A = this chain, B = another copy of it.
Amino acid sequence: MHAGTHGRGAHTTAQQEHAPSLNAMPFGLSSTRAVVQLLTHPQRLQILGIATQLRLTTRTTLYRADSPAEWIFFVSRGVVKAFRDLPSGKRRVMAFLFPSDLVGLAECGRYVNTVQAITPVTVYRTRLDQLMELLKRDPSLKLQFLYKIAHELRESLRQTIVFSRRDAAGRLAMFLRMLEQRAGDQKDGTIDIPMSRSDIANFIGLSLESVIRASHRLEESGLVAFEDLHRARVLHRRRFEELASAV
């Protein structure tokens, strides 16, 4: 299979590699709209103290939906997807999780989604009860987690805007822009697309075929060039942004 065969995630910084990390946009006023590291160095070491580093290959399942939620994961390198298989047999990808994201949100003691690696990943795994202990001992850490979850909530709400579009090309453009922002701009100006076309389809709510046709439309109209299946380049930034914003 394709995934894992072409250095995706290789641009991850050493910092992200070496300790649990959480990124988010703050509540408070800030001039930039930048995502910042929430955890102080000591906090990261504290979490490191109760965490185990795991390196997982593509397609490894971190956990399954509805199984008892024992662990919380900090994504450190690579990308995972969180999805649910619906009664109809369709698969809904709820989120892609990147380095500095938190995975393992439970409800009533059970995981909500199944989570699988789509690239080789490094995660830090910690027992939920141990993390809760740590949160009790370090109240300021609670606040950081609050920020992080609030950030994810806003991201999730933003994601629903994608669904309000009917046109496939527009949805795909918004998705690509999201990828560009989340995964951090590549030095060479390309967008890294770690997931399969079918994962994209299940995420943005289109059929697989529509995703492919939308890619062609983006390419034909000169907005985006797909250098290969997993790399795209924005050719006409202004028109691209227009399309992606024109909800």
Report the minimum CB–CB distance from A198 to chain B (whole Å).
Answer: 14
Copies in the complex: 2
Query: Of B25, B160, B205, B246, which contacts A92 at CB under 8 A?
Result: B160
Which of A41-49, A102-110, A114-122, A221-229 contacts its partner?
A102-110
Question: Given contacts A69-B27, A142-B146, are A160 and B94 in contact (CB under 8 A)?
Answer: yes
Closest to A88 in B: B247
CA distance A112 to B29 in the complex (A): 13
Count class of interface residues, chain A: 35 or more
Report whether A128 and B27 are in contact in the complex, using a CB–CB cutoff of 8 Å. Answer: yes
CA distance A130 to B12 in the complex (A): 38
Question: Given contacts A106-B27, A247-B90, are A153 and B163 in contact (CB under 8 A)?
Answer: no
Query: Of B69, B90, B105, B160, which contacts A160 at CB under 8 A?
Result: B160
Q: Mark A76-98, 1 if CB is under 8 A from B, else 0.
A: 00000000101110101011000
Report whether A29 and B108 are in contact in the complex, using a CB–CB cutoff of 8 Å. Answer: yes
Report whether B86 and A164 are in contact in the complex, using a CB–CB cutoff of 8 Å. Answer: yes
Question: Which of A143-157 touch B at CB < 8 Å?
Answer: 143, 145-146, 149-150, 152-154, 156-157
Residues in B with CB closer than 8 Å to A92 are: 160-161, 164, 247
A30 at the interface (CB under 8 A from B): yes
CA distance A246 to B107 in the complex (A): 22
A6 at the interface (CB under 8 A from B): no
Report the minimum CB–CB distance from A138 to chain B (whole Å).
Answer: 9
CA distance A95 to B153 in the complex (A): 12
22 residue pairs bridging A and B, Cβ less than 8 Å apart: A27-B69, A27-B106, A27-B109, A28-B106, A29-B108, A30-B109, A84-B161, A86-B164, A86-B247, A87-B245, A90-B164, A92-B247, A94-B157, A94-B160, A105-B153, A139-B139, A142-B142, A146-B146, A159-B160, A163-B163, A163-B205, A164-B205
